Structure 1
Amino acid sequence: MSLPHPDDLQETWAFIEPSLYKILGTDDDSDGVTPDEYMSSYTAVYNYCVSRSKGGSTYRSSTNSILLIGSEIYARLKNFLTNYVLQLTKRPDETFLQFYVRRWRRYTIGAGYLNNVFDYMNRYWVSKERSDGRRDIYDVNTLALLTWRENMFDINCNILVAEILEQIRLHRLKQQNSPALLTHSIKSFVMLGIDIQDLKKPNLGIYIDKFEKQYLINTIEFYNTESNEYLKTHNLIDYMKRAEHRIADETSFATNFLDERSRRPLLETVCKSLIENHAPVMYEEFERLLQQDQFSDINRMYLLMQKVQSSLDPLARKFEGYIKSEGLMKIDNMDINDDNKGDRPVRKAPPKVLATDQQKKLYIKTLIAVYTKFVSIVEKAFNNDLLFVKALDNACRGFINKNSVASPPGYKGTSKTPEYLAKYTDLLMRKNARENDVSSDMSEDDVMTIFKFITDKDAFESHYRKLLAKRLIYGTSMSVDTEESIISRLQKENSVQYTSKMTKMFQDMKASTDLQAAFAQYVENKPNKKEILDDFNVYVLAETMWPFSAFKHEFSLPKELMPTYDALESLYNEKHTGRQLKWIWNLCRGEIKANISKPGKPPFILTMTLFQMAIILRFNEQDTYTFAELVDILKLPEEYVSGNLAPLIKYKLLNQSPPDAAKIGETSTKFTVVKEYRSKRMRVNFASNIKIEQKQELEETTKEIEQGREMFLQACIVRIMKARKQLKHVLLVNEVIQQSHTRFKAQVSDIKKAIENLIEREYLRRVDSDTYEYVA
């Protein structure tokens, strides 16, 4: 082809204009630009710009910006693009969207080639103009897009958006088979978002303002209508499945058709319409799903609501309330049979105080069963979400510490759950419990599970330590290793300080074993060796570590035990100076050989308390005593004598006259030993279930808990005030509650009482009505 003269703009433009039409595309698109035409057009533009520059045709404008050669041909190109876009027309057989996408695709491809034709002008003249501050000059590709935006997009934007939204609606209804229309039309909103101040900076202003806002409004209207209509004719389970599919479809649509930034607002909009707006319906159905153990549907509900985090909190509260009510109901409906016999009717309402070991075990197992059930639900249905784990913990803490057994109506003391858990542990750790298969379905994990939730951990420690102490001194513990394992786990769950007294108890037991060995050697050299018991265990216990206190009443030790008693006191005083032994007579146990069986049968072995031994040994001297005589012999308070007599009468070792149980403590009541004792067992235990001891132990434990809390609160207050020097009342109370929550739930009234006590003892003083100061 013959190229135009380089200096002639008119001839140059007339030469390249037909090729420009072919590059951008004609209406019929019958022929495109050939390689020769394309290269000739590029050469003509290049020759024009270079030739004019060499001829010195540059000039300075009134703004002092240097204009390199290109302004005239740039103006011609700009007019050409405007006229080209304006003359584009829609075919009769196509929609505007089809026309728009068809011409847009061809136009943008052509604009890229057009940009290459004017490459020299872009690199020199356009670049120089923009560096001089001309923001109305653009590279050819950008100029083409801006021309399209001004003359095609802006004029027809509303029609375009309406047809795009209609196509999206058809797509949602599975009635649209031309995804290319959506892909290219939506992408045009992004491409046309050009920042004329900074062409390299991404700008989604047009995409957001012209398309996304209307698209989101259209989306929420569509799904509001569809979800409401669907729920009218379908159940919630079907609706949740439908919602899952809809959210998956919209996620896929966002990935395939929309800009990345639309993904989040789109899903938020869809989830608000499908989930948040219908959350109340799901909450109502939630409890029914729990009752029917429909874990897969609960999980579906959870996964849906997880997409709207604000909807999970009410669901977790519903879950917490359900667990709590379920736990309380299970406890209220516990099947309790006092004597553990199948032939007796079952009691549905639990007693205020659980009397038997089996009842206490059943209570703890009921708590564990509820927890285990809902742990499984949290795992299967809620994927161990921390929000629902916390809800489970809160609910368990609620019904475990406060229920019809732990705090019966009218009961104002500490929750009984710690006491029953300690008894449960005692059953687990005792030898005879294993032998009788009582603890076959019990485990250490059960103990730690409930321990985690009890708020009055100090109460558990007191009850547990008392039962541990009895296991140690009576030798009924299953094994030292198992005992230490429990203590180690309690320590990990709480603190070293929590188990320090228990650890010291084991040290005392070892020291007592050494003392018994020394006593055996000491007795060998005694002239009255035969009068001293050879099978005798004694434990010397640190008074501050063990949950026992010395027997406070007078007691006359049986003469048969006096030589042993004297020998032990003598040995201990020789080994230690300045120490005082305090005897705990009410905890002493022993075995008596009783020759009261049929002729030819071996004697019975009777396990008794020391007080019972003191009673029954007197019947070696005569067959009958009155109650007054026994009280005079033992020097014990009457309630101790009657309390220890009761098992002897109940199991028919002694006959009472008159036999009325209510007259056991009357002065003239007589007790006669049987001549021949009848029992299928040759070993009989009379030492258990002595009510006076049980009552006294419970009172002592309750008192110990109260005193321990009082001292803990005072120590806590002093520690805080010593560090802070001065503190307001509310802040002090809050900090004390925070520090004491690992041991027990401190009451504000108890904290106030402790503060007043410390003021009286001059640890603190009031600065004003609301502030305290530490007194050094």
Structure 2
Amino acid sequence: MSSVRRGAKTAKIIRPIAKKTGDNFEGAWTTLSTAIVQIHSKNASSLSFEELYRSAYNLVLNKNGDKLYAGVKDLLVTHLSNTASNAVVPLFPTCSAATGTNSVLTRESLENESNSAAAKMVKDAIAAGLPNGVASFTGGDEFLKLLKSVWDHHVTCMIMVRDILLYMDRVYVPTAKKPFVYDLGLDLFRDVILHNTVHPIREKLIETLMNQILLDREGDVVDKFAIKSMTDMLLSLSNANARVGSGSMSQSTMSIYELDFERPFLATSGAFYTLEAAHLLATCDARGFLLKIENRLLEEEERVKAYLSSSTGPKLRAVLESVLIADKVEELMENSGLVVMLSNNHTQDIARMYRLFSRVESGHATMRKCITAEIQDEGRKINELYGGLAKPTPSSPSGAQGSLAAAASTSPNPIQWVQEMLSIKTRFDGFISSCFDQDKKFVNCVNDALASVVNLNPQSPEYLSLFIDENLKKGGQKGKYEADIDAILDNTITLFRLLVYKDVFERYYKQHLARRLLFGKSLSEDAEKGFIGKLKIECGSAFTQKLEGMFTDMKVSEDVMSSFKALPSSVSNSDQSAIDLNVKVLTTTLWPTFPNHPVTYPPQLQSLLSRFETYYMSARHSGRKLTWQSTLGNMDLRANFPKGRKEINVSLIGSILLLSCFNESDSSESAAAIPFSTIADTTGIPAPELKRALQSLSLGKHKILLKSSKGKDVDENRDTFKFNLSFSSPLAKIKILTISATSTAASASNSEANAEREGAFSKIEDERKHQIEAAIVRTMKSRKRMDHANLVVEVTEQLKSRFMPHPSMIKTRIEGLIERDYLERDAKDRRMYMYLA
């Protein structure tokens, strides 16, 4: 049954002819009172409503409205009192508490919240329906059905009585400032039946409703229509503090539904689900707990729709979210909580936790905190296993983020390190997509956590560049298709985006790109340019300008060599040796700095180099200077061994010492060995480079030279070398690999030696100083006047795409510019700078 609108009018006013005779109240009232009794007795069909209306009309017209109103009220009170005692009370449900006493909700415990707090209210609420509070409760269904029938009959009767007394409602009631007859009937039902001072009808009703709702929560079948009728009844009743307004009744701020039912219902619900949450935590893991409370929340939403007021929904939801979620957030993070779900890839459970925790204020923040800790823990293990970082000890502080000092404890594996970091990124990006609804806060959480572990490793820029080099050079892709390589590089960009010191990455990437281009090891030009395009999107054209210029140099060099080889043979190559020369002319400012040593080239090679240099200067660029890089080239030599001819690919340094010292060797086994010092004097190769070249030729897989002593080291004073005439190999073409400078570097997958790295970082630091100063000057030139704090922010914003400058470094460069008269301080405000043109 829907709620009945108070004060509603459904009949038109009949205007009978008024009797002008004297007052006959007793006769008219006897007629009306008898009719009202007949209506309550369900015998209204024999009544003449027109005659009854005329009687009430005449009484009001003859100034007897107050007597009529009071008589109707007394009659209704008598009828409702009899109904309460004779009909309602006999059908009270029987309940026995577990303690042996009959516990019920008292009116004072519900209306007087100052009664020693909520402990008593909660205790009474538990007694009204929770397990272990009531041992047995019978007759609830019959009681609700009876009360529903009593209420429905009373409403029907009041509609009839209102129609009879409609003229009194229109004329007398507004003037006397009393409730309309229909509203009076509802108020009397509230006071005489519901709030009966003799019989605990209200308490029994609330107990019954609580018990029925408890049974519904436990899965039993209940009469939801009867519960709905009772809540609608309560919604139709105003509380005792309703005030009479100007001609109409106005609802007070709290209805009887809220006062009598909703408050104990919310208290009962909170107590019930507090116990259930404790039980679930003791018997279920986090996954089971979340599934059950999600179902409980859905059940309660359906329960509100079925038989409660819609206004109860938000209040009940707040109670449930508090006791089921907010109070259990920290506990659900432990043991079988989010960490286990993440480890086992339980995406549905993680998504459920995300949805449920969105209901409480600290839910998502706690999840993000847990995710951050998990990523950092996984990243720490990767840094220790593959990144060469020492495991922190209680006595040693952990390395600072972005530090340029290495702390290697195990042999690093750059390729595996990057793959593991990408694996973390891919896995948590999957969680963001499938579980966290692309929530920006969770995206930032994952990126910030991964950035902290990536930048904790000072060699991360180098490792990332090595990983890219492995995938972009020939043979490094290990059977992967070009689409796979492109997908890998896309993922690599996401890791690059997290780097704080992108300028360090640029330095390594430029070196690796240079070697791929110069030695022809690049997988494809399209793949190379595609990745540079990705870098350009991330960091801007200034970041990739030199990288793009390297490709331009390669193209120009091809054109130069084509023109040189197109010349007559007497100009381009007149030697009988028919050396096929291929030169790459590099712009110094675009390419990385390579170590270069002046060497003595063999005559047949020197003449060809001089011829090319003459051609380049005369035909191309007369104002330029060419410097030959002896450490970058390689040569293919044809070697005639007694056991067969072989083609040997060897570095330019190695080919110089072979052509200069061993090209005219005696073909007999008794040929004299050449001392180390003689080789050095003849070739002009510095000792460190010469040792590496001799080790590569005499100690590698293919021993072209024979060393006089055993061991891997070369002794400058004792060791001698001679051509290995007994050399043999099933291969027609042989590649002599150059031995790395240190065994440590070799074992570190071609990562730089510490000494080289420190020198590189020193250069990077110098470059940063110039970049900071340039940013300061650009900013001040455009602003003319600026305070220190804003200048630091502006410079940081300009440089963050390359590296994150420390405020103290910016301050130092500002002081330097002031000393060189680029800037000056304001005489009145020392923190204000002014640009000097």
Percent identity between the aligned chains? 22
- Determine if contact 1:5/1:12 at 8 Å carries over to the other structure: no
Name which of 351, 356, 359 aligns with 1:307: 359
Please tell me whether residue 225 in structure 1 is matched to residue 275 in structure 2.
Answer: yes
Cα distance in structure 2, aligned partners of 1:454 and 1:632:
47
Please tell me whether residue 172 in structure 1 is matched to residue 214 in structure 2.
Answer: yes
Cα distance in structure 2, aligned partners of 1:501 and 1:731:
31
Cα deviation, residue 166, structure 1: 4.8
Residue segments in structure 2 that go unaligned for 5+ positions in a row: 1-15, 94-142, 389-406, 666-671, 743-749
Name which of 635, 652, 657 aligns with 1:615: 657
Cα distance in structure 1, aligned partners of 2:776 and 2:243:
65
What is the match of residue 307 of structure 2? 257
What is the match of residue 136 of structure 1? 177
Cα deviation, residue 137, structure 1: 5.3
3-state SS of 1:34 partner = helix
What is the match of residue 155 of structure 2? 108
3-state SS of 2:44 partner = coil
Change beyond 3 A, Cα 1:570–1:333: closer
Please tell me whether residue 773 in structure 1 is matched to residue 765 in structure 2.
Answer: no
The amino acid that maps onto 1:191 is: S
Name which of 53, 76, 84 aligns with 2:76: 84
Cα deviation, residue 220, structure 1: 1.6
Please tell me whether residue 554 in structure 1 is matched to residue 598 in structure 2.
Answer: yes
If the length of structure 1 is used for normalisation, what is the TM-score?
Answer: 0.80
Cα deviation, residue 242, structure 1: 3.5
Please tell me whether residue 672 in structure 1 is matched to residue 722 in structure 2.
Answer: yes
3-state SS of 1:275 partner = helix
Cα distance in structure 2, aligned partners of 1:14 and 1:218:
49
Superposition map of 1:120-199 within 5 A: 125=171, 136=177, 140-146=181-187, 148=189, 160=202, 163-164=205-206, 166-174=208-216, 177-193=222-238, 196-197=244-245
* More helix, by proportion: 1
Cα deviation, residue 729, structure 1: 4.4
Q: CA RMSD in A?
A: 4.1
Name which of 705, 709, 717 aligns with 1:654: 705
The amino acid that maps onto 1:648 is: L
- Determine if contact 1:6/1:12 at 8 Å carries over to the other structure: no
Cα deviation, residue 119, structure 1: 5.1
Cα distance in structure 2, aligned partners of 1:624 and 1:39:
143
Change beyond 3 A, Cα 1:264–1:566: same
Cα deviation, residue 251, structure 1: 1.7
- Determine if contact 2:186/2:237 at 8 Å carries over to the other structure: yes
Cα distance in structure 1, aligned partners of 2:783 and 2:196:
73
- Determine if contact 1:165/1:218 at 8 Å carries over to the other structure: no
Residue segments in structure 1 that go unaligned for 5+ positions in a row: 58-70, 337-349, 407-414
- Determine if contact 1:115/1:140 at 8 Å carries over to the other structure: yes
Change beyond 3 A, Cα 1:237–1:669: closer
3-state SS of 2:648 partner = strand
Question: Residues 112-149 of structure 1: CA distance to partner in whole angstroms, max 9, x if unpaired?
Answer: 45555555666x648xx97xxx7935555445445555
Name which of 38, 44, 67 aligns with 1:33: 44
Cα deviation, residue 20, structure 1: 4.2
What is the match of residue 449 of structure 2? 395
Cα distance in structure 2, aligned partners of 1:244 and 1:334:
42
Cα deviation, residue 276, structure 1: 2.0
The amino acid that maps onto 1:713 is: I
Change beyond 3 A, Cα 1:705–1:532: farther
What is the match of residue 637 of structure 1? 686
Cα distance in structure 2, aligned partners of 1:423 and 1:83:
98
What is the match of residue 340 of structure 1? none
Name which of 740, 751, 768 aligns with 1:709: 768
What is the match of residue 421 of structure 2? 367
- Determine if contact 2:554/2:584 at 8 Å carries over to the other structure: yes
- Determine if contact 1:596/1:676 at 8 Å carries over to the other structure: no
If the length of structure 2 is used for normalisation, what is the TM-score?
Answer: 0.74
Cα deviation, residue 21, structure 1: 4.6
What is the match of residue 411 of structure 1? none
Cα deviation, residue 315, structure 1: 2.5
What is the match of residue 67 of structure 1? none
- Determine if contact 2:348/2:435 at 8 Å carries over to the other structure: yes
3-state SS of 1:260 partner = coil
- Determine if contact 1:4/1:12 at 8 Å carries over to the other structure: no
What is the match of residue 412 of structure 1? none
Cα distance in structure 2, aligned partners of 1:755 and 1:279:
49
Please tell me whether residue 507 in structure 1 is matched to residue 552 in structure 2.
Answer: yes
3-state SS of 2:415 partner = helix
Change beyond 3 A, Cα 1:697–1:484: farther
Please tell me whether residue 460 in structure 1 is matched to residue 505 in structure 2.
Answer: yes
3-state SS of 2:531 partner = helix
Superposition map of 1:469-508 within 5 A: 469-508=514-553
Question: Residues 689-730 of structure 1: CA distance to partner in whole angstroms, max 9, x if unpaired?
Answer: 442896597566434533343333333444444555555545
Please tell me whether residue 428 in structure 1 is matched to residue 471 in structure 2.
Answer: yes
3-state SS of 1:323 partner = helix
Name which of 74, 91, 94 aligns with 1:94: 91
Out of 138-147 and 222-231, give the one that drifted further: 138-147
Question: Residues 570-604 of structure 1: CA distance to partner in whole angstroms, max 9, x if unpaired?
Answer: 233234556423425144323232324344x3322
3-state SS of 2:547 partner = helix
Cα distance in structure 2, aligned partners of 1:385 and 1:704:
41
What is the match of residue 747 of structure 2? none
Change beyond 3 A, Cα 1:690–1:258: same
3-state SS of 1:223 partner = helix
Please tell me whether residue 520 in structure 1 is matched to residue 565 in structure 2.
Answer: yes
Change beyond 3 A, Cα 1:425–1:232: closer
Cα distance in structure 2, aligned partners of 1:195 and 1:542:
94
Change beyond 3 A, Cα 1:522–1:18: farther
- Determine if contact 1:726/1:771 at 8 Å carries over to the other structure: no
Cα distance in structure 2, aligned partners of 1:454 and 1:298:
29
The amino acid that maps onto 1:84 is: L
- Determine if contact 1:316/1:388 at 8 Å carries over to the other structure: yes
The amino acid that maps onto 1:460 is: F
Please tell me whether residue 567 in structure 1 is matched to residue 611 in structure 2.
Answer: yes
The amino acid that maps onto 2:708 is: S
Cα distance in structure 1, aligned partners of 2:688 and 2:829:
50
Cα deviation, residue 33, structure 1: 2.5
Cα deviation, residue 265, structure 1: 1.9
- Determine if contact 1:19/1:38 at 8 Å carries over to the other structure: no
Change beyond 3 A, Cα 1:299–1:661: same
The structure with higher relative contact order (CA 8 Å, sep 6+) is: 2
3-state SS of 2:727 partner = coil
Cα distance in structure 1, aligned partners of 2:24 and 2:642:
142
- Determine if contact 1:165/1:215 at 8 Å carries over to the other structure: no
